[in-house]
Amino acid sequence: MTTENDHSPPESPLAAVKRTSAALFAVLDDPAQSSRHDVVRAELIELHLPLVDHCARRFRSRGEPFEDLVQVGTIGLIKSVDRFDTGRGVEFSTYATPTIIGEIKRHFRDKGWAIRVPRRLQELRMQITATTAELTQSLGRSPTPTELAASIGCTMEEVVEGLESGNAYSTLSLDAGDSSDDGAFTMLDTMGVEDDGLENVELRESLKPLLAALPAREKNILMLRFFKNMTQSQIATEVGVSQMHVSRLLSRTLDHLREALSESP
């Protein structure tokens, strides 16, 4: 891109636009020429229309009609012209570009569908949504496609088609809360995580040979305590020793197992 202080004679179109723009803004800022303001404002907007075109082109492959993008972009341009402050010392295009792009993005946010659906279906879908709400109210249950079709005045086929397209309307962020719930769960929460039990498998496998190596009485006490869920006193009666002894035996056996486990790699 050429700049003004290059070889002066062939002035680049961009430089010409800049110069014209600056001149027009000067008029706009001049209170003495307020009668010309409307004309100059229109001139400025027209002068910068190619900028809108350029910005809109960036979004062309996203499914919205190009003309629509130019239209909303132009609104952004008009806002920029009205708000531009020449005193800031920046180029108008520098100021206007983010505003125009912002306007186009807003358009996508408001009107854009996550997955491209033909306009006819979009409208149908909106009708279906509205009519479903109405009929649900009057019927006391959700309506059938036949009832929807009769109410909207289209065929049942179209209702089915519209219902299909409804699922393309929005994609869900993984972090989005489940609106039907208290919002505590997000999509991400419902997805798989590593099972904590997995680690236990390893421990259990390492424990097996250790348990097998225990003396019969200790093994028996462990089993009664942890598998049959007996209290220490019950075990004491069962095995024929004092409760204190059971307690000692248990803690000694557990210590032994814990130690052996941490020793094994």
Partner 1 sequence: MRPDAELRLPVDPAFVSVLRATAVSMAARLNFTVDDIEDLRMAVSEAAGLVLPEQPAESSDLLCEFYFGTDKMSVRVSARSESPAPVDQSDFAWQVLSALTVDASTVIESDTLAVTFSVQSTATS
The contact set with partner 1 (CB under 8 A) reads: 132, 141-146, 148, 156, 159-160, 163-164, 190
Q: How far is the CB of 166 from partner 1 (least distance, A)?
A: 10
On whether the CB atoms of residues 217 and 249 are closer than 8 A, the answer is yes
Beta carbon nearer to partner 1, 136 or 237? 136
Beta carbon nearer to partner 1, 26 or 201? 201
Tokens of 88: 């800031």
Q: How far is the CB of 63 from partner 1 (least distance, A)?
A: 20
Q: How far is the CB of 183 from partner 1 (least distance, A)?
A: 20
SS3 call for 65: coil
Per DSSP, 196 falls in state: T
Beta carbon nearer to partner 1, 137 or 190? 190
CA 15 to chain centroid: 42
Beta carbon nearer to partner 1, 34 or 142? 142
Tokens of 33: 């020429």
CA distance 177 to 94: 38
Beta carbon nearer to partner 1, 103 or 161? 161
Q: Angle at the Cα of 128 (from 122 to 132), degrees rounded to 5? A: 155
Q: How far is the CB of 207 from partner 1 (least distance, A)?
A: 25
Q: How far is the CB of 142 from partner 1 (least distance, A)?
A: 4
Closest CA relative to residue 96, chosen from 5, 40, 25: 25
